[in-house]
Amino acid sequence: TAKQRGKGNWVRYADGMERSVFADAQVGGDLRRALDAGEFRLVYQPLVDLAERRLVGVEALVRWQHPERGLVSPAEFIPAAERTGLIVPLGRFVLRETCRQAAAWLAEFGPDALGKAGPNVSVRQLHDPDFVADVRAALHDSGLPADRLVLELTESAVLRGKQVSRVLQEVHAMGVRLALDDFGTGESSLSLLRAFPVALVKLDKSFVDGIELGEPGTAATTARQAVARAVVQLADALGLDTIAEGIENEEQARRLLRLGYTVGQGYHLGRPMEAAQITTLLAQQCRIAAA
């Protein structure tokens, strides 16, 4: 044990452990209270057709409006929510709210206005025995057609085991689509495409960063372009949709469109925003379509 390795080590080790366990217990309590108090809300980031610059979908991203700390980023609380298990009720809220909002947009603007809405799903949720029933209930209660819902999973989430595989098959059988998020950063992206009923891959931002620089370009730029091209070709060959994430300027958008990406996401195309702002965008689009 750490204790046998010497007093100094033990003190440091135990100290760090206790603090993190204590901190998790505390943050778990905080998250529970916040969930009950309605402090979590969703913002929506546009998924944009790169050629026509139309809104074709949204990704739902959770925010914590903390009474003292202000807006807390998911990077700060999702890991703790996963460790403490609070991600299960939090994820259920995100799923239900995304379905409710997407169904409302669908009812207001019609079937052509917004193709899909996607929440992120953590691996911990996939291990929850109620997950499939939760998805079914969220669809049923909102009236959202299953094929409008896209669940974003990271590769690490998908990797683990038979249970997850069965859950994903069941969700797929309902008509819900699955997206592999941050594609290309995991260890076995390619084998996952074969093993799971994936409908869409999201090219990770790290392959988009700097993709516009230099022609012929530096070695790093060329490598990014090669990955981006390979991913879209693979997806096309397998009949999967693609989204390029983290597009921050016009040149990146153009470059990705030339490489074969039809849909993109990023600050240049639209920041994560309140539902009401998405409603405004959809209303504008409807007016343009009608004109």
Is 248 near ligand C2E (CB under 6 A)? yes
Residues near 225 by Cβ (< 8 Å), separated by ≥ 6? 211, 217, 255, 259
Is 270 near ligand C2E (CB under 6 A)? no
| CA of residue 223 relative to chain centroid, distance | 25
Is 75 near ligand C2E (CB under 6 A)? yes
- Closest distance to ligand C2E from the beta carbon of 91 (Å): 6
Q: b or e along 140-165 (b: 16 or more beta carbons within 10 Å of the residue's beta carbon)?
A: eebebebebbbbbbbbebbbeeeebb
**Which stretch of DSSP H or E encloses residue 44?**
strand 40-49
Using CB atoms, what's the residue nearest to ligand C2E? 266
Return residues touching Mg ion (CB under 5 A).
120, 152, 181-182, 245
In whole angstroms, give the CA distance from residue 98 to residue 117.
7
In whole angstroms, give the CA distance from residue 2 to residue 87.
31
Which tokens sit at 88? 């299960």
Q: Which is nearer to ligand C2E, 109 or 262 (CB)?
A: 262
- Closest distance to ligand C2E from the beta carbon of 68 (Å): 20
Residue 264: which of 187, 211, 223 has the closest Cα?
A: 211
Q: Kindly write out the interface string for residues 140-159 of this chain, putting x where it contacts ligand C2E by CB under 6 A and - elsewhere.
A: ------------x-------
Is 73 near ligand C2E (CB under 6 A)? yes
Distances 212 to 250, 259, 261 between C-alpha atoms, Å: 9, 11, 14
Is 84 near ligand C2E (CB under 6 A)? no
Which residue shows structure tokens 């925003």? 273
CB 57 within 8 A of CB 47: yes
Q: Which is nearer to ligand C2E, 155 or 181 (CB)?
A: 181
- Residue 280, SS3 per DSSP: helix
Q: Which is nearer to Mg ion, 58 or 281 (CB)?
A: 58
In whole angstroms, give the CA distance from residue 125 to residue 279.
29
Q: What are residue 263's DSSP bridge partners?
A: 49
- Closest distance to ligand C2E from the beta carbon of 9 (Å): 34
Using CB atoms, what's the residue nearest to Mg ion? 152
Is 241 near ligand C2E (CB under 6 A)? no
- Closest distance to ligand C2E from the beta carbon of 94 (Å): 4
Q: Which is nearer to ligand C2E, 232 or 247 (CB)?
A: 247
CB atoms within 10 A of CB 206: 14
- Return the one option of Mg ion, ligand C2E, none that residue 186 interacts with (CB less than 5 to 8 A, by type): none
In whole angstroms, give the CA distance from residue 113 to residue 278.
11
Q: Which is nearer to ligand C2E, 120 or 221 (CB)?
A: 120
- Which of 78, 179, 198, 232 is the binder for ligand C2E (CB under 6 A)? 78
Write out the residues near ligand C2E by the rule CB under 6 A: 45, 61-62, 73-75, 78, 91, 94, 119-120, 122, 152, 181-182, 246-248, 265-267, 272
